[in-house]
Amino acid sequence: MLVSLKWLKEYVDIDLDAKTFGDKMTMTGTKTETVEYYGEEISNVVVGKIIKIEKHPDADKLVITKVDVGAEELVQIVTGAKNIKENDYIPVALDGATLPGGITIKNGKLRGVDSNGMLCSAKELGIDEKYIEEYKKNGIYILDMEDSYEAGKDIKDVLGLNDAVIDFELTSNRPDCKCMLGIAREAAVTLNEKIKYPEISVKEESEKNIDVEVSIESPDLCGGYLARRVTDVVIEKSPYWMQRRLVESGVRPINNIVDITNYVMLETGQPMHAFDMREIGNNKIVVKNANEGDTFVTLDGQERKLDADMLMITNGERYLGVAGVMGGEESEIKDDTTEIMLESALFNPENIRKTSKKLGLRTEASSRFEKPIAQTTAEMALERAAQLIELLGAGKVMKGVIDNRTNEAKKQTITVSPSRINARLGIELSMDEFCDILRKLEFVCDLKSEDELHLEVPSFRLDIEQEADIFEEIARIYGFENLPSVQLQGNTTAGVRTDRQKFLDGVKNAAISCGLYESLTYSFVSPRGLDKIRVPQDSKLRDVVKLLNPLGEDTSIMRSTLIPNMLDVIYTNSSRNIDEVGLFESGHVFTPEEMAGVEETRLCIGMYGKDVDFFTLKGVVEKIFERNGLKGQKYVSESANTTFHPGRCANIVFGDKKIATLGEIHPEVLNNYGINKRVYVAEIDIDTVYSLADNTIVFKPLPKFPAVTRDIALLVKADVEVGDIDEIIMSNGQGLVETCKLFDVYRGEQIGKGYKSIAYSIVYRSLEKTLTDIDVAPVHEKILAELENKLGAKLREQ
């Protein structure tokens, strides 16, 4: 918020320099960002009046001027400016003058003619050219205000360049401070002064009565619409003092009517708009939502596409403006406008913010309407604008006010305990001191009991809701620097990790011990990632959490799988010619609130390299499970997962629960990422693994009796899974099978087409005696019989 110190002094008596004042404001919660002194580098520049202009005898592009600067003699200055004429008042830098940028002016000669000074342009005085008329940009700055000037007067006093502009950083809970009166209120309480509100009185000089009919069809988006009508309007430039204040606040002057609405907005915080009555046409204002897909040309000449959620100001037949954002091109104030309507309205802040964002159009008005505005502010602003129109002779205000409000403002009240606030802040304010601070902040205090204070909150303080807010008000005005410093009290406890956190640490340590490096990526990702890994349209992975205010399309959803992130990291390494990579990431995946709002922990492993294949990845996964207490999992082939290569993918299940998927990434997915290597990825549901893991350690004595080993080679169909063979062997071992290990898989010409040879080593052992062939044979035969019955497996003949 840019604040002119000279303007601010109209509302509060300030005897401090700008920097000291800014520091005091910072200490009471209104932080000063910067202080800029206009005209600080300007000296010995005065008002001059051009008395005579002659041609230069030796230069066609130069002229010799005789300028009255209030001295006994006229000053002769040579210039090349083309936009000056006799009797113009202009800024003159005399001998020894200094200008912004460290420029010093000295007397000299131009093409043999004495030149005792310099006529100044706006740029040379440090005035931004975007705020001045076009004809002044390429020449001398001509003082064309209504009054004549005293030659020799300091130009800083004439142009208001002896001011300081303070940039205040406002917190989001204080929209009431985004105006001069808001800052003035804070300045008054900071300096222990009284604020001087402008005395507002409207004469209503016109004999006519206002006859505008206003209806609100969207009361949930428009809380009130107030209007006044002005006739006999004269469009001209606003007075220089108003233009200067607008410029210092970062607003470009346009004409007297528009400048008044902007001035009132900066003064009160209430955005306003002036409509040309010719464009309203039927004397009707209808506030309603736009039609889906309609277009509208705003004041900046841009065509905007509307949707049904946007609130519009209309005359019932056509659009006049986007409510709270910007008016329409056709309804703007024109040079021949003679009758206007002033609008001061209350809009739904959330709707204004969404509309502004959708249209890509953020204005001074929308930035203020995005926060709540008090109804009393809307009333005051309308009257203030009407008053200024009369004071400046810009028109005659009609009798009567349109006041269409959908609900009446309710006074906000709150009850607080001063003793509790004193105890929390560590101070001992008396009740009188307590109430004195609050009254300076314009609260109405009513003492109900010794420790019960009833407060009526000022209408503009819409951020005050509870006692904690009063804590802050007392603390900042009393002075944070005056609060006592004390040691923290209370019991401290040692922070420890939960069992789940310890389990996750164990998983990470196991992954690291397998030679993997940990990677970290963002949880908010692009929806294109699901397309790149070929997720079907009906997959649950596409039920994603969408961000309401994303940084961009690439970070617009919360991830539902870690695989796209892992492939992004693998691509980065592959593109930098890293030959071998082994990575893991532990992180969260998300599902929407309507699907129970789950936040699950996953572990994703990604690998590629010369000696890396499916079984390398499987070994890493098994090692992680083994070290973290998971036993008894099974591997089931998976062919429906389109992210992975068909026939090279498996799900890991425990009972009826799927706990992981691993396999080789599909070639088309690799093409989508620009990866030209075989990549192997696993994604593990850590939450489920944690619930199934058992880290209980059971010690068993070393076996006393020798083992019997039998090797078998089975001929089975190619689609028979090894896990099924393992299960049959172990379940039919009658307690004698200690282990069974696969040691060979063979496919070849000696095996029939569609078959494979599976070789196992089975170890039999009893804890009670030494086994003989008589003991082992029936068990072994039983296993072979079950394998043949259930899987069609037969002993391979040599």
472-486, 506-520, 563-577, 671-685: least confidently modelled range: 472-486
| 418-425 vs 467-478: helix crossing angle, rounded to 10 | 60
Q: State the chain's mean pLDDT as an integer.
A: 92
Q: Which domains, and CATH codes, for the chain?
A: 2-33+168-191 (3.30.56), 43-159 (2.40.50.140), 213-405 (3.50.40.10), 413-482 (3.30.56.10), 499-692 (3.30.930.10), 708-795 (3.30.70.380)
Q: Would the pLDDT of 447 be above 90? A: no
- pLDDT tier at 138, thresholds 50, 70, 90: confident
pLDDT at 137: 73
Q: What angle do CA 545, 561, 579 make, to 5 degrees?
A: 140
Which one-letter DSSP state was computed for residue 701? P
- pLDDT tier at 523, thresholds 50, 70, 90: very high
pLDDT at 798: 57
Residue 273's closest CA among 230, 318, 321, 310? 321
Q: For residues 767-791, give the mean pLDDT.
A: 92
pLDDT at 334: 92
Helices (H), 576-642: 614-627
Q: What's the pLDDT tens digit per position in 309-349?
A: 999 999 988 999 999 999 998 888 999 999 999 999 999 99
The one-letter amino acid code at 380 reads M
Tokens of residue 518, six digits? 């940990």
Cα dihedral angle (525, 531, 536, 537), rounded to 10 degrees?
80
241: left (phi over 0), alpha (psi -120 to 50) or beta: alpha
Q: What's the pLDDT tens digit per position in 594-646?
A: 665 689 999 999 999 999 999 999 999 999 999 999 988 888 888 899 999 98
Residue 748's closest CA among 778, 702, 719, 715? 715
Q: For residues 75-100, give the mean pLDDT.
A: 92
Tokens of residue 59, six digits? 């230069």
Q: Would the pLDDT of 470 be above 90? A: yes
In this structure, is the dihedral angle defined by the CA atoms of residues 668, 673, 675 and 679, taken in order, positive or negative? Answer: negative
208-212, 400-404, 476-480, 698-702: least confidently modelled range: 698-702
Tokens of residue 591, six digits? 């599902």
Q: What angle do CA 254, 259, 263 make, to 5 degrees?
A: 145
Instruction: Give the 3-state secondary structure of residue 695.
Output: coil
Q: How far apart are the first and last CA of the chain?
A: 92
Does the predicted TM-score (pTM) go above 0.85?
no
Q: Would the pLDDT of 145 be above 60? A: no
pLDDT at 530: 95
Q: Would the pLDDT of 675 be above 90? A: yes
pLDDT at 147: 59
Q: Would the pLDDT of 215 be above 60? A: yes
Q: For residues 700-715, give the mean pLDDT.
A: 91
- pLDDT tier at 743, thresholds 50, 70, 90: very high
Annotated binding site: 463, 469, 472-473
Residue 517's closest CA among 420, 584, 434, 593? 584
Q: What's the pLDDT tens digit per position in 47-77?
A: 999 999 999 988 888 999 999 999 889 999 9
**φ and ψ at 269, to 5 degrees?**
90, 0
- What is the rounded distance in angstroms from the CA atom of residue 567 to the CA atom of residue 585? 11
pLDDT > 70: percent of the chain: 98
Q: For residues 687-704, give the mean pLDDT.
A: 89
Q: What's the pLDDT tens digit per position in 381-435?
A: 999 999 999 999 999 999 999 999 888 778 899 999 999 999 989 999 999 999 9
- What is the rounded distance in angstroms from the CA atom of residue 241 to the CA atom of residue 358? 37
- pLDDT tier at 752, thresholds 50, 70, 90: confident
Residue 102's closest CA among 37, 39, 163, 41? 41
Annotated binding site for Mg(2+): 463, 469, 472-473
The one-letter amino acid code at 707 reads A
